Structures are given as C-alpha cells and as structure tokens.
Amino acid sequence: MDFDFSQLPAAERYRLMTAAITPRPIAWVTTQSAAGARNAAPYSFFNMMGSEPPIVVIGMGRRADGSHKDSTANILETREFVVNLVSETDAAAMNLTSIDAPSDIDEIALAGLTTAPSLAVAPPRIATAPVAMECRLYQAQEIGRATLIIGQVLRFHVRDEFYDPASRRLDTAAMQIVGRVHGAGGYVRGTDLFELDRPNWAAWRDAWVE
C-alpha cells in the first residue's frame, strides 16, 4: 500500500504520520503572555536539532478557526518559553494541560502544577519535571497551518537526583520520561531498551574483505 499525499485530506495524512512516526518525545511547554498570563501545553512534534548552538524545534498547529494556539501566540509575542520533559508521575497532569480551555484559563493552576522561577526567561518552569530547558525563540517559520518554533536553549535544569556530578552523567532511566505513540491517548515508557555498537569503517572494511 502506498499513499499519494497530494490526494489525501490533511486529517488522513495526520493519522498516518502520527501513527508511524513514533515514539515522539513530548515538550511540555510553559509560556507567559506579555500581560503575564501563564500557559502550559504538551507538544510532541518536538526534538533537538543541534548542540552548537543548542537548538530545539517544536511543530505547533493551529486551532480549527485558523488562529494560533496560546503557546504559539505567547512565544511569538515574547520570544520566550520553557520546554519541560514529562515523567510518568506527571503524565496525567501533562495530558490535562492539553485541554481546549479558553485563553484566559491558566492550565498551570488547572492541573495543580508546582512551578519554579526560571533564570533567563519570564515563563516559569515546572518544578516536578526531571529536565526543564529555558529557551529563547531563534526563529519562527510558518509552513501552511504549522508554526515551527525554533528555540535556542539558554539554561538546562536537571533535578539533582538525576545527575551525577562525578561522572557528569544523567540517569535517563530514573527520569521515567514518557513519549507519545499511535492512538488518541497513546503513550510509551522508555523501559524496553537494547544497544547496538556504533560501526567503525576501518574495522568493518578489514572484516569485510577477508
């Protein structure tokens, strides 16, 4: 089976792509409007795209009426946001903050989230998040009904229990970060791991020609 995407309605393209492109990390984005209204919402069209400079990208869609979502509007207005990562403990609260509440509703209060002040940007970070990245908008790219938010990470917070200063390692498994998968309410834990050694051409070539 193959699909000519130019012949499919957008909703069908969305269904196919989101069911296949899994698992996706979740950016639990906190923002604040210029007037000070706080907002939190999850976005799984998200990843890091570089470390020099440290860049994250989030794909934000539009509401049915074509308007920007609150997170998008706040980021375009203030150029600041925080990407919080989601532990299993926070999963239900994260899911609740995706609610289609009116713009004047503070989802941070609605979901009973504990916040902590950020250091470089105005929006607070979520205190229970294992990792929170304070970001400044590097560039926004409007592509059809998507706004690609390209952010530069200014500060990287990790909760003390997940970082060993001696080895400079994060305990990723202990953070119990959840991801997004197929299905309306589908999430995944990062517990079923396996490893593959990174191939090295010099060693590979010698073994191959023997």
Ligand X SMILES: Cc1cc2nc3c(=O)[nH]c(=O)nc-3n(C[C@H](O)[C@H](O)[C@H](O)COP(=O)(O)O)c2cc1C
Peptide linkage before 124 cis (omega within 30 of 0): no
Tell me if 38 contacts ligand X by CB under 6 A: no
* Lookup: tokens for 169: 């390692």
Name which position in 22, 33, 95, 128 contacts ligand X (CB under 6 A).
Answer: 95
* Lookup: tokens for 72: 């998008």
Specify the residue, 140 or 171, whose C-beta has the smaller distance to ligand X: 140
Name which position in 32, 38, 43, 131 contacts ligand X (CB under 6 A).
Answer: 43
DSSP 8-state symbol, 165: T
Tell me if 23 contacts ligand X by CB under 6 A: no
Specify the residue, 127 or 148, whose C-beta has the smaller distance to ligand X: 148
Tell me if 28 contacts ligand X by CB under 6 A: no
| Nearest partner of 26 among 76, 74, 73, 93, judged by Cα | 93
54-62, 126-134, 165-173, 194-202 -> range binding ligand X (CB under 6 A): 54-62
Tell me if 42 contacts ligand X by CB under 6 A: yes
Specify the residue, 33 or 152, whose C-beta has the smaller distance to ligand X: 33
Sort strands 131-143 and 125-126 into parallel, antiparallel or unpaired.
unpaired
Q: How far apart are CA 118 and CA 172, in angstroms?
A: 22
